[in-house]
Chain A
Amino acid sequence: MFPIKPIPEINDSETRATESRQQSASQKFISFAFGKIVSLWPADSRDWALAMQAELPQMESTQESLHWLAGGIMSLIKAWWNGATSSDNKKELAPVKKPGILAALVTVAALAILLIPSANQGLRAVLTSWNADRGQAQEARFIRIARDAESRGDAKTLAFAAMRIESRKDFVAFANKAVALDPSYTWIFSQGYFGFTNVPEARDWPAKLAAFDPGNSIAYLLQAQIRSSEISHDGMLTADDMRRDPQWLEAGRKAMESPRYDAYRNRRLALDRDVIQSLGIKDPAVIGLTGLRAGWISLWPPEVYSKQLMRDAKLAIQHGDKETAKRNAWAVAHFGEIVRAHGGTEIERRWAVDFLRPAYTMLQPMLAAEGRNDESAMLTESLEAIKPGAPGAALTQWPESTFAWIKTAGIAMHVGVALAIILSVLLLLAGCWLLAEVFFEGNRDGMLHRIACRSARYAPAGILVCLALLAVSYWPTAEAVTTYLDRPISMWTLQNLTETYYSVYWLPDTFRFSPGAPYHALAWTFVTVCGVLTIAFIVGRNIFNRTMRLKTA
Chain B
Amino acid sequence: MKTNMRTSKQTLALLSALAAKPTQWHYGYALSRETELMSGTLYPILMRLEQRGWLETQWENPQDLAEGRAGRPPRHMYRLTAGGRAWATEALSAARATSKSKSARATLKPARQHPRVLLGQPELERA
> Interface size on A (CB < 8 Å)?
36
A14-B33, A16-B68, A55-B27 known; A75 and B44 CB under 8 Å?
yes
Please state if A57 and B23 are interface contacts (CB–CB under 8 Å).
no
A-B contact pairs, 26 of them (CB 8 A): A5-B61, A10-B24, A10-B77, A11-B21, A11-B25, A11-B26, A12-B30, A14-B30, A16-B69, A47-B76, A48-B76, A50-B73, A51-B57, A51-B76, A52-B39, A54-B72, A54-B75, A55-B39, A55-B76, A58-B27, A58-B75, A59-B29, A71-B39, A71-B41, A73-B40, A74-B39
Instruction: Mark out the residues of chain A between 47 and 90 whose CB falls within 8 Å of any chain B CB in the assembled complex.
Output: 47-48, 50-55, 57-59, 67-68, 70-75, 78-79, 88
* Contact residue among A5, A11, A19 (Cβ-Cβ distance under 8 Å from B69): A19
Which B residues lie within 8 Å of A59 (CB)? Answer: 29
Interface string of B6-35 (1 = CB under 8 A from A): 000000000000000101111111100100
Residues on the B chain within 8 Å of A10, using CB = 24-27, 77
Question: Considering the chains assembled together, what is the distance between the CA atoms of A9 and B24 in angstroms?
Answer: 6
- Mask, A516-553, CB within 8 Å of B = 1, is 00000000000000000000000000000000000001
Q: When A and B form their complex, what is the total count of cross-chain residue pairs whose Cβ atoms lie within 8 Å?
A: 97
Contact with B75, one of A5, A13, A45, A51 (Cβ below 8 angstroms): A51
Which residues does chain B contribute within 8 Å of A48, judged by CB atoms? Answer: 43, 46-47, 76
- Give the contacting residue for A55; candidates B29, B40, B44, B64; CB below 8 A: B29
Could you say which residues of chain B place their CB within 8 Å of the CB of A50? 73, 76
Given contacts A10-B27, A12-B30, contact A68 B39 (CB under 8 A): yes
CB <8 Å contact, B69 and A71? no
Chain B residues with a Cβ under 8 A of chain A? 21, 23-30, 33, 38-44, 46-47, 51, 57-59, 61, 63-64, 68-69, 72-77
What residues on A are CB-neighbors of B61 within 8 Å?
5
Structural contact, A57 and B39, CB atoms closer than 8 A? no
A70 with B43, Cβ < 8 A, contacts A10-B27, A19-B72, A54-B74 known = no
A95 CB-CB contact with B under 8 Å? no
Q: A8-B25, A11-B25, A67-B38 are in contact. List 7 more A-B contacts (CB 8 A).
A: A10-B26, A19-B72, A51-B43, A51-B75, A71-B38, A71-B39, A74-B40
Tell me, yes or no, whether A491 is within 8 Å of chain B by CB.
Answer: no
B76 touches A11 (CB 8 A): no
Chain A residues whose C-beta falls within 8 Å of the C-beta of B76 in the assembled complex: 47-48, 50-51, 54-55
Q: Is A369 an interface residue (CB 8 A)?
A: no
Report the Cα distance A53→B28, complex, angstroms.
Answer: 10
Q: Contacts A8-B58, A9-B23; is A55 near B75 (CB within 8 Å)?
A: yes
Q: Which one of B27, B64, B68, B77 contacts A19 once the chains associate, using CB atoms below 8 Å?
A: B68
Which has the most chain A C-beta neighbours within 10 Å: B28, B42, B51, B58?
A: B28
Q: Pick the contact of B43 from A13, A57, A71 — CB < 8 Å?
A: A71
Residues of B within 8 A of A58 (CB): 27, 29, 75
In the complex, the answer to whether B24 meets A75 with C-beta atoms within 8 Å is no
Chain A: minimal CB distance from B93 (Å): 23
A19 contacts which chain B residues (CB < 8 A)?
Answer: 68-69, 72
A7 in contact (CB, < 8 A)? yes
In the complex the two chains form, is A72's CB within 8 Å of B29's CB?
Answer: no
How far is the CB of A83 from the nearest CB of chain B, in Å? 11
Most interface-central of B21, B29, B46, B59 (chain A CB within 10 A): B29
Decide: B75 and A70 in contact? CB cutoff 8 A: no
Q: Identify the 6 closest CB pairs spanning chains A and B, nearest first.
A: A71-B39, A74-B40, A51-B76, A71-B40, A55-B29, A54-B73
A16–B70 CA distance with the chains assembled, in angstroms: 13
Instruction: Look across to chain A and name the residue whose beta carbon is closest to the beta carbon of B21.
Output: A11
Complex interface: chain B residues within 8 A of A5 (CB)? 61, 63-64
List chain B residues, Cβ under 8 A from A11.
Answer: 21, 24-27, 30
Q: Contact between A55 and B24 (Cβ–Cβ < 8 Å)?
A: no
Q: A9-B23, A11-B25, A54-B73 are in contact. Are A71 and B30 (CB under 8 A)?
A: no
CB of A72 within 8 A of CB of B58, answer no
Cβ–Cβ < 8 Å partners of B68 in chain A? 16, 19-20
Chain B residues lying within 8 Å of A20, measured Cβ to Cβ, are: 68
The B-contacting residues of A in range 22-63, CB under 8 angstroms, are 45, 47-48, 50-55, 57-59
